[in-house]
């Protein structure tokens, strides 16, 4: 799989760079309506065609990538942060703290995650932050559970006893000794999950609960354009391909990281 | 609530329990349909990987499996709908009804499960294929298929049943996206509409039904462990 994961990394880097530098790569404004070029099939001026309001699909996909990948990344980092905090506390202190925290984690995990995310997005007004909150709320728990397990096994190792023997405080043991040992595992798992977050984000925007139009995201492009699927299939096909390629790349990279070192040990 | 009284919807004033009774069978049918597709094809992909380990077909099967969990369900649903319903006109695009209506949503829904089954099948079966008793079986001169079916697959059943059970259970909670796209009148769509309209009796009723089904499936899976793996049986009794 070595070759495959290299290709995936390359493609993903390309997608990210293209999204970040979207304004320099495309001359079209992703939200500006152009009545002179409605529903054009892919051609040389509009490589991936235009939508029902004459907006260039390629430019919308590039700008949409900023939201889709950005939201997934931020939500992933938030989830990881919360998961680390809960997992470290729970695993290190054990007993009642552990029981209380893990009960809460189990509670969150027992909900069907997409439905919980939908429920949370409905509570707040729609927007970028709501999507981030929704994805974080459904995904921190699995991090917490995993890190707790890892802390439990780390805690028994001699170097922690040594640290305690030379008089380190609990705080110092957690932050300076246990946390760094949790990080490699955390980042591998984060890599495995980012693809899923992109899917959740696009599912939420598909249902109209994500970033609101006219701002483009991959999910909302599919959702808004799906009524035109018979007359202008390119309007739906390309955003979906974008999601698929990005998520496949994330998953391949995540798998490669996992095989390479951590989890199997 | 113990009497099966789940209240009435705030909006339609209809009895929630009755609505769920009407919609839940549709969800069950869809979940079954998806599983009928996912299980054999998933295991078959696993077989392909095991028999061609490290070769082209193994990689191809792995890529298909990664693709399956990476596909946005709502998108592949729309594309299938476009080809088979709008272009070829073989199947109806959406709605709830007989077998013709179920094919497209079931195929759509089966893809992620198919992929996860294939992945689990591959890893567990590769593990088992390296164990001594498989070499013994091969040394006895059993043919490959016999080994695969009777020895490898049988020992891989436990993890497989676990994934299948989890996927099936989550489908019973309603496949929100698939049901939305295909206008399938199931519990997932019902619940999502309930959430968006803040129709709490509906949401609670659906959650209750879905989670009960999930727990039930898990119990069934545990019982199946006993059935398929004698080790579980003996350990269980010894306790």
pLDDT tens track for B92-141: 666 666 667 777 888 888 888 888 888 888 888 877 777 777 777 777 77
Question: CA nearest A155: which of A164, A168, A146?
Answer: A164
pLDDT for B4 beyond 80? no
pLDDT for B174 beyond 70? no
**Inter-chain touch B81–A122, beta carbons under 8 Å:** no
pLDDT for B12 beyond 80? no
Task: Name the token pair of B180.
Answer: 């939305």
Q: Which of B54, B66, B88, B104 has the highest number of chain A CBs within 10 A, making it the mutation to test binding with A?
A: B66
pLDDT of residue A75: 92
**Alpha carbon distance A133, A124 (integer Å):** 10
pLDDT of residue A263: 47
pLDDT of residue B238: 45
More confident residue, B239 or A187: A187
pLDDT of residue A43: 74
Which CA distances in Å does B135 have to A12, B129, B139, B147?
42, 8, 6, 10
Report whether B107 contacts B98 (CB < 8 A): no
pTM for the whole structure: 0.81
- The SS3 of residue B15 is strand
**Per residue in B122-131, pLDDT tens?**
888 877 777 7
Task: Name the token pair of A105.
Answer: 């984690």
**Alpha carbon distance A20, A77 (integer Å):** 19
Which CA distances in Å does B223 have to A259, B38, B213?
33, 22, 15
pLDDT for B239 beyond 50? no
Min Cα distance A157 → chain B (Å) is: 29
Residue found by looking up tokens 């939200």 in the block: A31
Question: CA nearest A203: which of A131, A138, A144?
Answer: A131
**Inter-chain touch B195–A115, beta carbons under 8 Å:** yes
Minimum-distance CB partner of B78 among A110, A236, A255: A236
**Per residue in B40-81, pLDDT tens?**
888 888 888 877 777 778 778 888 888 888 888 888 888 888
Q: How many interface pairs between A and B have CB atoms less than 8 angstroms apart?
A: 89
Minimum-distance CB partner of B210 among A112, A195, A233: A112
Report whether A147 contacts A88 (CB < 8 A): yes
- The SS3 of residue A56 is strand
Which CA distances in Å does A186 have to A17, A150, A183, B94, B145?
25, 10, 5, 42, 41
pLDDT of residue A264: 44
Report whether A117 contacts A135 (CB < 8 A): yes
Report whether A146 contacts A87 (CB < 8 A): yes
Minimum-distance CB partner of A247 among B63, B70, B173: B70
Report whether A225 contacts A235 (CB < 8 A): yes
pLDDT for B2 beyond 70? no
Report whether B177 contacts B189 (CB < 8 A): no
Q: Which residues of chain B have a CB within 8 Å of the CB of A202?
A: 72, 74
**Alpha carbon distance B201, B204 (integer Å):** 5
pLDDT of residue A265: 41
Q: Which residues of chain B have a CB within 8 Å of the CB of A248?
A: 66-67, 70
Which CA distances in Å does A138 have to A156, A196, B132?
30, 12, 43
- Look at the alpha carbons of A139, A141, A144, A146 in this order and tell me if their dihedral is positive or negative: negative
Chain center to CA of A265: 26
Task: Name the token pair of B43.
Answer: 């295991």
**Alpha carbon distance A254, A239 (integer Å):** 23
With an 8 Å Cβ cutoff, is A222 touching chain B? yes
Q: Which residues of chain B have a CB within 8 Å of the CB of A223?
A: 74
Task: Name the token pair of A251.
Answer: 């998953």
Q: Which long-range contacts (CB under 8 A, 24 or more apart) does B138-144 make?
A: B144/B51
Report whether A210 contacts A221 (CB < 8 A): no
Task: Name the token pair of B233.
Answer: 């049986």
Report whether A202 contacts A217 (CB < 8 A): yes
**Alpha carbon distance B96, B104 (integer Å):** 11
With an 8 Å Cβ cutoff, is A231 touching chain B? no
Q: What is the mean pLDDT of residues B10-17?
A: 73
Min Cα distance B86 → chain A (Å) is: 7
pLDDT of residue A59: 83
Question: CA nearest A216: which of A77, A80, A14, A48?
Answer: A48
**Inter-chain touch A119–B71, beta carbons under 8 Å:** no
pLDDT for B158 beyond 60? yes
**Alpha carbon distance B41, B152 (integer Å):** 17
**Alpha carbon distance B142, B151 (integer Å):** 11
- Per-residue pLDDT of chain A (265 residues), as tens digits, is 577 788 888 888 888 888 888 777 777 777 777 777 677 777 777 777 777 777 888 888 888 888 888 899 999 999 999 999 999 988 888 788 888 888 888 888 877 778 788 888 888 877 888 889 989 998 898 889 888 888 888 888 888 888 888 888 888 888 888 888 888 888 888 888 888 898 888 888 888 887 777 788 888 888 888 777 777 778 888 888 888 888 888 888 888 887 776 544 4
Residue found by looking up tokens 């893809």 in the block: B111
């Amino acid at each position: 799989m070595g070759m495959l994961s290299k290709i995936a990394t390359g493609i993903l880097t390309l997608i990210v760079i293209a999204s970040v530098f979207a304004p320099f790569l495309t001359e079209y404004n992703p939200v500006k309506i152009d009545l002179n070029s409605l529903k054009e099939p892919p051609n040389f001026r509009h490589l991936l065609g235009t939508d029902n309001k004459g907006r260039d699909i390629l430019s919308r996909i590039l700008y949409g990538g900023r939201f889709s990948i950005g939201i997934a990344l931020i939500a992933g980092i938030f989830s990881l942060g919360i998961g680390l905090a809960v997992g470290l506390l729970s695993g290190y202190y054990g007993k009642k703290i552990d029981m209380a925290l893990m009960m809460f984690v189990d509670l969150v995990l027992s909900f069907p995650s997409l439905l919980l995310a939908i429920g949370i997005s409905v509570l707040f007004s729609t927007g970028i932050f709501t999507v981030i909150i929704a994805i974080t709320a459904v995904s921190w728990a699995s991090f917490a559970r995993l890190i707790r397990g890892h802390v439990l096994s780390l805690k028994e190792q001699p170097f922690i006893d040594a640290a305690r023997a030379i008089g380190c405080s609990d705080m110092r043991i957690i932050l300076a000794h246990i946390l760094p040992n949790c990080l490699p595992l955390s980042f591998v798992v984060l890599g495995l999950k980012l693809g899923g977050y992109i899917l959740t984000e696009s599912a939420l925007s598909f249902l109209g609960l994500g970033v609101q139009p006219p701002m483009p995201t991959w999910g909302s492009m599919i959702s808004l354009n799906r009524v035109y699927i018979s007359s202008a299939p390119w309007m739906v096909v390309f955003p979906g391909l974008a999601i698929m390629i990005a998520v496949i790349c994330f998953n391949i990279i995540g798998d490669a990281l996992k095989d390479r070192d951590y989890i199997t040990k | 609530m113990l009497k099966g009284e789940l209240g009435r919807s705030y909006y339609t004033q209809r009895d929630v329990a009755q609505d769920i009774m009407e919609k839940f069978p549709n969800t069950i049918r869809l979940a079954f349909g998806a599983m009928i597709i996912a299980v054999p094809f998933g295991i078959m992909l696993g077989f392909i990987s095991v028999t061609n380990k490290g070769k082209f077909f193994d990689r191809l099967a792995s890529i298909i499996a990664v693709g399956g969990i990476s596909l946005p369900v709502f998108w592949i649903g729309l594309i299938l709908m476009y080809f088979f319903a709008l272009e070829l006109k073989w199947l109806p695009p959406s709605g709830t009804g007989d077998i013709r209506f179920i094919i497209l949503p079931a195929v759509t829904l089966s893809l992620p499960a198919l992929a996860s089954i294939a992945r689990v099948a591959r890893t567990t079966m590769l593990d088992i294929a390296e164990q001594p008793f498989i070499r013994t079986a091969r040394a006895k001169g059993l043919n490959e298929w016999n080994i695969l079916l009777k020895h490898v697959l049988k020992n891989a059943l436990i993890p497989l049943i676990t994934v299948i059970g989890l996927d099936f259970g989550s489908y019973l909670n309603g496949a929100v996206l698939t049901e939305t796209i295909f206008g399938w009148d199931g519990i997932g769509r019902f619940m999502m509409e309930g959430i968006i309209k803040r129709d709490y009796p509906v949401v609670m009723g659906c959650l209750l039904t879905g989670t009960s089904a999930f727990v039930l499936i898990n119990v069934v899976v545990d019982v199946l462990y006993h059935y398929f793996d004698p080790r579980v049986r003996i350990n269980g009794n010894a306790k």
